[in-house]
C-alpha cells in the first residue's frame, strides 16, 4: 500500500483517506488493506495532521461514522475511520467507547493499563472476561457507504506482558490465556485481531465501491509530504489496541 503519490504519475484507482492520526492504527490498517484496490493516503499527506474530531458518540459505531464523515468532508475524499475499545465484563463493559480517555486526557498506555489492573484487583480469573472490538465506517463527503465490525474474546491478565502492539494489548490474554496480544508478532496479531475482522467485514463494501468508480486521470502533488508510518509515536496517541 502506498501512502504518497506524485503529480507525474497517473492514478488509475480511487483515492481513500485512512481517517486517523494514530500511527499504530495506520500501520496495522496499512497491512490489512493491502489487497484493496485503492490509493490510500493518510492525514499528514493532506496537511491534516492537526485535524481532530470530537468523539461525542455514545457507541463505537457512532464515533466511527462521525470520524469518517468529518474527515471525508474536510479532505474532499472518501474516508475510512476506525473506533476501537476494550470491553471488560467485570467493569460493566468499561472502558468501551471511552478506552482512549479512560485514565484522563493526558494518560499514556501504561497509565490506562495500570488503571484496569487496579480496578480488577481481587477479581477471580474466570470473571476477568473481556473483548476488543473495532468498528470501521466508510463514507464519502455526502454519505455513509457502509460499516463493519469485529471482535476478539479473551481475559484480562494480572500484569502486563509483551512489547508489541499498543493500548491495552499487554494485559489482554487472547482466548483467556498467554500469550497476551502484545506478545504476538504483528503478523500473528493481524491474523486474529478485532481490527482484522472488522476489515474483513467491511471489505465487500470497499470492493463494491471501488468497482463502481471511474479511473482517476491525475492526482495532486503530494511528493514533498511524508507518511507518518515509522515516525516517532506519541504515547498519548494510542487507543484500544
Q: Cell for 49? A: 495532521
pLDDT of residue 105: 87
CATH number at 69 reads: 3.90.950.10
Catalytic residues: 83
- The answer to whether position 231 is within a domain reads no
Phi-psi region for residue 78, left (φ > 0), alpha (ψ -120 to 50) or beta?
Answer: beta
pLDDT of residue 214: 83
pLDDT band, residue 172 (cuts 50/70/90): very high
In a domain, 223, yes or no: no
- For 46, other C-beta atoms within 10 Å of its C-beta total 18
DSSP E strands in 64-223: the ranges are 79-88, 129-139, 144-156, 172-174
Identify the pLDDT of residue 11.
53
The number of domains in the chain is 1
Q: Return the pLDDT at 134.
A: 98
The answer to whether 4 and 66 have CB atoms below 8 angstroms apart is no
The confidence score (pLDDT) of residue 241 equals: 64
Please give the Cα distance from 76 to 63 (Å, whole number).
19
Residue 230 lies inside a defined structural domain of this protein: no
Say whether pTM exceeds 0.95: no
Q: What pLDDT sits at residue 239?
A: 53
Where helices occur in 33-76 by DSSP H, the ranges are 60-75
Give the tens place of pLDDT for each residue, 66-111.
999 999 999 999 999 999 999 999 999 999 999 999 999 899 999 9
- pLDDT at residue 223, rounded to an integer: 39
25 belongs to a structural domain: yes
Residue numbers of the domain that contains 34: 15-211
Amino acid at each position: 500500500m502506498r501512502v504518497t503519490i506524485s503529480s507525474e504519475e497517473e492514478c488509475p484507482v480511487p483515492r481513500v483517506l485512512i481517517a486517523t492520526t494514530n500511527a499504530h492504527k495506520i500501520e496495522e490498517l496499512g497491512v490489512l488493506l493491502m489487497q484493496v484496490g485503492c490509493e490510500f493516503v493518510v492525514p499528514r499527506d493532506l496537511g491534516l495532521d492537526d485535524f481532530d474530531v470530537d468523539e461525542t458518540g455514545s457507541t463505537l459505531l457512532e464515533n466511527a461514522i462521525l470520524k469518517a464523515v468529518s474527515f471525508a468532508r474536510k479532505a474532499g475524499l472518501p474516508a475510512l475511520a476506525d473506533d476501537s475499545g476494550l470491553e471488560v465484563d467485570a467493569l460493566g463493559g468499561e472502558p468501551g467507547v471511552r478506552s482512549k480517555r479512560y485514565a484522563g486526557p493526558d494518560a499514556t498506555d501504561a497509565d490506562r493499563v495500570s488503571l484496569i489492573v487496579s480496578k480488577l484487583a481481587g477479581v477471580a480469573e474466570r470473571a476477568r472476561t473481556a473483548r476488543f472490538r473495532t468498528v470501521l465506517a466508510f463514507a464519502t463527503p455526502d454519505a455513509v457507504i457502509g460499516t463493519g465490525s469485529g471482535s476478539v474474546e479473551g481475559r484480562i491478565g494480572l500484569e502486563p506482558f509483551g512489547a508489541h502492539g499498543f493500548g491495552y494489548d499487554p494485559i489482554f490474554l487472547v482466548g483467556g490465556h498467554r500469550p497476551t496480544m502484545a506478545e504476538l508478532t504483528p503478523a500473528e496479531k493481524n491474523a486474529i485481531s478485532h481490527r482484522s475482522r472488522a476489515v474483513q467485514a467491511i471489505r465487500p463494501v470497499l470492493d463494491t465501491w471501488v468497482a463502481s468508480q471511474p479511473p482517476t486521470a491525475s492526482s495532486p502533488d503530494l511528493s514533498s509530504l511524508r507518511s507518518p508510518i515509522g515516525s516517532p509515536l506519541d504515547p498519548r496517541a494510542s487507543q484500544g489496541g
